[in-house]
Structure 1
Amino acid sequence: MILEHAILNVRPGESPAFLVAIAEALPLMTATPGFIGFELRRCHENADRFLLLVRWETIEAHTIGFRGSDRYQQWRQKLHHFYDPFPVVEHYGEPVVTS
């Protein structure tokens, strides 16, 4: 399993509209073969910052299956204008230490 991670800094005051937009956009991602699960968490210290966590079967499910699809173009149109700065997206493998 691959864990996609991004810190989403939303423009100040635009979080309510962002949350509506991401709820509308989410089916675009969940329709991708290899999609496992999605979490969006709000930061306690900054209400306009969110942690995005997406679980994929493989990195290619995200990078080719989703980002290479027409659905991703719709995702971009709905969401990318909210971010400042634009987020860095990283992919992580299986846990190396757990408790």
Structure 2
Amino acid sequence: MILEAVMLQVKPGMEREYEDAFREASTIISSMKGYISHSLQRCMEVNGKYLLLVNWEQLEDHTIGFRQSAEYQEWRRQLHHFYDPFPTVEHFEKVEF
């Protein structure tokens, strides 16, 4: 399993609109091959800051399957105009010990 982690900064005053748009767009990502689960966390200290966590079966399910799909274009249309600056996406794998 791969964890996608994205720190998001939403433009000031657009937080409520963003959360509504994200709720709607969630159906897009959750329908993708290799998707396991996701959560959106709101920062308690910084207004407009969010953490998106998405679990994927494999890295390629996100980087190729989702990012190169028509569904991603719709996700982008619904959400990307809220971000400033544009977020950096990072992927993590569990450390076994």
The residue number in structure 2 matching 1:32 is 32
Q: Which runs of 5+ in 1 are unaligned?
A: none
How far 1:20 moved relative to its partner?
0.6
Map 1:14-93 → 2, pairs under 5 A: 14-93=14-93
Q: TM-score, normalised by structure 2?
A: 0.96
Q: 1:47 to 1:96 in 2, by over 3 A?
A: farther
- What percentage of aligned pairs have identical amino acids? 48
How far apart are the structure 2 equivalents of 1:96 and 1:43? 29
SS in 2 for 1:16: helix
RMSD (Å), alpha carbons: 1.0
Number of matched pairs: 97
Q: Which runs of 5+ in 2 are unaligned?
A: none
SS in 2 for 1:50: strand
Q: TM-score, normalised by structure 1?
A: 0.94
What code does the residue aligned with 2:93 have?
A: G
4+ residue runs over 6 A deviation: none
